[in-house]
Structure 1
């Protein structure tokens, strides 16, 4: 099966291509660095020629007010090109709870992307994942200084990027779901607790201050970002993942 992976050189895309190739598929990574620009449409028809499946893992340069326009344009270009190429399956990666946090413009933009895919001409699948382990450090950096890290007590169920890539690979190589599959990590944490676990593992002695107005995730409440019944639960725990990436880890 020939699978075109748009955004195939990024965190999830590079892992996805490796998994698919190992399973015998012709998975081809595409990105601006390879001459494919989903925003302008440059190189897209050529990238999708002969592709049975197209996976879209692209993201905007910023998670701000420009993100809805980015997804509106890129999904429009992708659906037009995929339809013209006769692709039999289109897959996107979205976010668990995206529709439950209207205060975040980026989440609203992801919902827009999902709605465009559903209304498009190509049979589709949506994989929704919780927050990646790999992004926790970035989240902490938004509201930190040399002494403290300020984080809300927002509940998250984070997941390893490797596990996300495995889930997307399984969906991409299968029949179109014509719906949504959710995947999450095995544990639920408050974000401020995740911060303390992360700093301790790194030997960072800064204090975590619970501040329910700090950062992007202050906009989420309750269990909006926690997987609901029916989600696939990955096996990798956050502490296992941290141990492999910090001094003294495997």
Structure 2
């Protein structure tokens, strides 16, 4: 099977292509370095030639209100180019709870992406994942000032990228579900406590202070970003990832 991967050189896309190739399939990275720009549509039709599946694991260039415009262009271009190329299955990697926190522009853009795909009339599948283990150190850096990490106690249920890719491969190689599946990690934590876990195992001189108003996740009021009912639960705990794989 030939699979076109929008965002195929990123954290998820590169691993997805490696897994597909190891299983005897062909994964093609559809990124600017290969002449494809999903935002403008340049090269996308040609890149999808011969692909049975198109999967989008790309990330908008910013987490602000501009993410919606990016997704509008990207989804329109993906569907139009895929139809023209004869793609039979369109897959999007999304975020658990994205439709429950419209006050966060990036999540609202992902919710739009999901719905645009569902409304497009093409055969589709969506895999929603919770926040990646690998994302937590980045979040800490965003809110670090003068040796202090300020984060809210927002509940998260992070999942390892490896577990995401393993399930995504199954979705990509399976038939279109016309549904949204969900994946989460095995444990739920407050975000500020996740930061404390990081620094307990990998101390760097920083301290963590709980701040209800700090950073992107301050806008999330409850447990919207934890596993919904029926979610698949990945096996890798956060502490296991910290011991074995961090920094990635």
Write the deviation string for residues 112-163 of structure 1: whole angstroms up to 9, x where unpaired: 1011100113200000000011110111111112331111000000011111
| Equivalenced residues, count | 247
1:186 and 1:5 map into 2 onto residues whose CA distance is 28
Residue equivalent to 1:117: 117
Write the deviation string for residues 28-80 of structure 1: whole angstroms up to 9, x where unpaired: 12211111100111111111111110001111111111110000001000000
Runs of 5+ unmatched residues, structure 1: none
Runs of 5+ unmatched residues, structure 2: none
Deviation above 4 Å: which 4+ runs of structure 1?
Answer: none
Normalising by structure 2, we get a TM-score of: 0.97
Displacement of 1:21? 1.1
Residue equivalent to 1:21: 21
Displacement of 1:246? 5.3
1:9 and 1:59 map into 2 onto residues whose CA distance is 11
Normalising by structure 1, we get a TM-score of: 0.96
Q: How does 1:1-250 map to 2 (within 5 A)?
A: 1-245=1-245
Q: SS of 1:194's equivalent? A: helix
1:211 and 1:63 map into 2 onto residues whose CA distance is 21
2:93 and 2:5 map into 1 onto residues whose CA distance is 11
1:147 and 1:11 map into 2 onto residues whose CA distance is 28
Displacement of 1:190? 0.3
Displacement of 1:226? 0.4
Alignment root-mean-square deviation, CA:
1.1
